[in-house]
Amino acid sequence: MNISYDSLFKILTVSGINLQFIKQRVRGMVEDYKVNTGRPDHEVAREVSRALITKSVLKVGSISVLTSSSFAVPGLGSIIGMLFAGAVDFLLILKEQVELCYKIAAAYNVELDTKELQAVSLAILGFSFTTGVVTQVGEIAIKKTIDNMAKRYIVKGIEESSQEVAKAILPRLLGRASRYIPLISIPVSTSINVVSTLTVGKQAIEYFSNWKSERAEQP
């Protein structure tokens, strides 16, 4: 697979992601949900975040079917075609997952400068892909782990850190040969991308839901 490891850095920095638009749209969702339900802020943020995850899962599922279906079509199953579809799949899924982190941060009204948000999103992606769904690690422990990763990424530099994370997660998204077997590849590809997006969303909720409580404890 000929995907450069700086692709993730480009997604973070020059992919056309509009942070202000994301904040406005998500905070509009939060206000609407709050008015309609009258529920506490933390419950509203969690429900909006879950809705955002559901939308992302549906989107990545559609992307997976579209890119993988070319393998099963006569004349489109060449090696070049498969690799191209895999590259498109990888980049679109990563872009969606990065945006999902940004959206969940907005749902919890977390204010970070651009570099910090990029570093935290990188850390959430790296943590999610390398550990899978964490079931026995507390929410605070998850946040501290991601915080430490994000701090290291800022010191190291977002560009170099993006390449590091891409090298770690690329094999998990593209290293399965069955993704390129006609007919079989469609359900396998969809399952991989849906599960990875659910995991990223879950870790983002665990991280950002603990943001204010931790900050409130600081002098």
At residue 11, the pLDDT reads: 73
Q: Which residue type is seen at 134?
A: V
At residue 109, the pLDDT reads: 94
The DSSP string of the chain is ----TTHHHHHHHHS---HHHHHHHHHHHHHHHHHHH---HHHHHHHHHHHHHHHHHHHHHHHHHHHHHGGGSTTS-SHHHHHHHHHHHHHHHHHHHHHHHHHHHHHTT----HHHHHHHHHHHHHHHHHH-S-SSS-HHHHHHHHHHHHHHHHHH-HHHHHHHHHHHHHHHHH--GGGGSTTTHHHHHHHHHHHHHHHHHHHHHHHHTTHHHHHHH--
Q: Average pLDDT for residues 56-66, to the nearest whole number? A: 75
Per-residue pLDDT reduced to its tens digit, 63-114:
655 555 444 444 444 443 444 444 556 777 888 889 999 999 999 999 998 8
SS3 174: helix
C-alpha–C-alpha distance, residues 121 and 146, integer Å: 9
At residue 102, the pLDDT reads: 94
Spell out a b/e string for 203-212, using b for 16 or more CB atoms within 10 Å of the CB, else e: bbbbbbbbbe
At residue 166, the pLDDT reads: 81
Read off the pLDDT band of 4 (50, 70, 90).
low
At residue 134, the pLDDT reads: 47
Token output for 35: 């008015």
Residue 105 CA: distances (Å) to CA of 54, 181, 190, 217: 16, 37, 26, 19
**Mean of pLDDT over the chain:** 75
At residue 141, the pLDDT reads: 77
At residue 42, the pLDDT reads: 92
Per-residue pLDDT reduced to its tens digit, 123-139:
998 888 765 444 445 66
pTM: 0.77
Burial category of 115 from C-beta neighbours within 10 Å (exposed 0-12, middle 13-18, buried 19 and up): middle
Q: Average pLDDT for residues 48-70, to the nearest whole number? A: 78
Nearest CA among 53, 97, 90 for reference residue 68: 90
Per-residue pLDDT reduced to its tens digit, 199-216:
999 999 999 998 764 444
At residue 205, the pLDDT reads: 94
Per-residue pLDDT reduced to its tens digit, 113-122:
889 999 999 9
The answer on pLDDT for 34 being more than 80 is yes
